[in-house]
């Protein structure tokens, strides 16, 4: 006796016993369009209020960031900390967004000394009667580079106090950076922050988190 495959038409019915009504093709298209519009709206909201895309302009953050790289920046989460790379809108001398590294936050003192190999940067929350830092933390700055040109800043007036609500920032390319050492920029008001750099988008060969 041979085995045969028998094709049977199976009618799927709803609880009333009637065949379900087929949806017109136009409704399916409408659903797709609605989903696309919703997705675009969500992305728009995210990149308007939570994330931003910023482009590096200049050499001040080499070798961490290079001119023309695209970054994703967020203002969501904790307050800025030492070591964070942040973007802020400077409204005075430059009147444009700048990207730098946080060295000290409000309530801290910063001292900078020139050495034969670059700079020694120290931070503390106290100074003594002689104006010296008490129990300073000397920063290990593997990211800092010094090249091409001689230093252009004087540190005779240091230590510098950072008031609450402000940040002391430096560029990683120390001899090519206008930052909190520069009188035209100075300390950064936290209200000017656009956010913390979290991801480098392009070039794709360097895609990833930034630290």
Catalytically active residues, by annotation: 60, 100
Rounded to the nearest 5°, which phi and psi values hold at 5? -90, 120
Q: Which of 66, 70, 68, 55 is nearest to 207 (CA)?
A: 70
Characterize the bridge pairing of strands 166-170 and 160-162.
Answer: unpaired
Question: What number of other Cβ atoms are within 10 A of residue 51's Cβ?
Answer: 17
CA angle 89, 190, 94 (to 5 degrees): 25
Tell me if residue 59 falls in helix, strand or coil: coil
Give which of 197, 207, 206, 211 is closest to 87, Cα–Cα: 197
Nearest to 133 by CA among 159, 154, 107, 157: 159
Q: Do residues 19 and 12 touch, judged by C-beta distance below 8 A?
A: yes
């Amino acid at each position: 006796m041979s085995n045969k495959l028998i094709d049977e038409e199976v009618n799927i019915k709803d609880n009333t016993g009637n065949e379900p009504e087929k949806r017109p093709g136009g409704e399916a298209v409408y659903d797709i369009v609605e989903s696309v519009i919703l997705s675009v709206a969500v992305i728009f909201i995210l990149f308007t209020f939570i994330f931003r895309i910023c482009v590096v302009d200049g050499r001040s953050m080499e070798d961490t960031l290079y001119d023309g790289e695209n970054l994703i920046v967020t203002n969501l989460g904790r307050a800025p900390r030492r070591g964070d790379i942040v973007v802020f809108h400077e409204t005075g001398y430059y009147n444009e967004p700048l990207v730098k590294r946080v060295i000290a936050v409000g309530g801290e003192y910063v001292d900078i000394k020139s050495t034969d190999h670059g700079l020694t940067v120290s931070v503390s929350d106290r100074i003594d009667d002689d104006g010296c830092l008490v129990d300073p933390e000397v920063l290990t700055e593997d990211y800092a580079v010094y090249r091409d040109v001689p230093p252009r800043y004087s540190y005779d007036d240091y230590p510098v106090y950072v008031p609450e609500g402000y940040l002391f920032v430096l560029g990683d390319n120390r001899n090519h950076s206008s930052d909190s050492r520069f009188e035209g920029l100075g300390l950064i008001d936290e209200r000017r922050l656009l956010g913390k750099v979290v991801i480098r988008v392009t070039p794709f060969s360097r895609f990833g988190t930034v630290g």
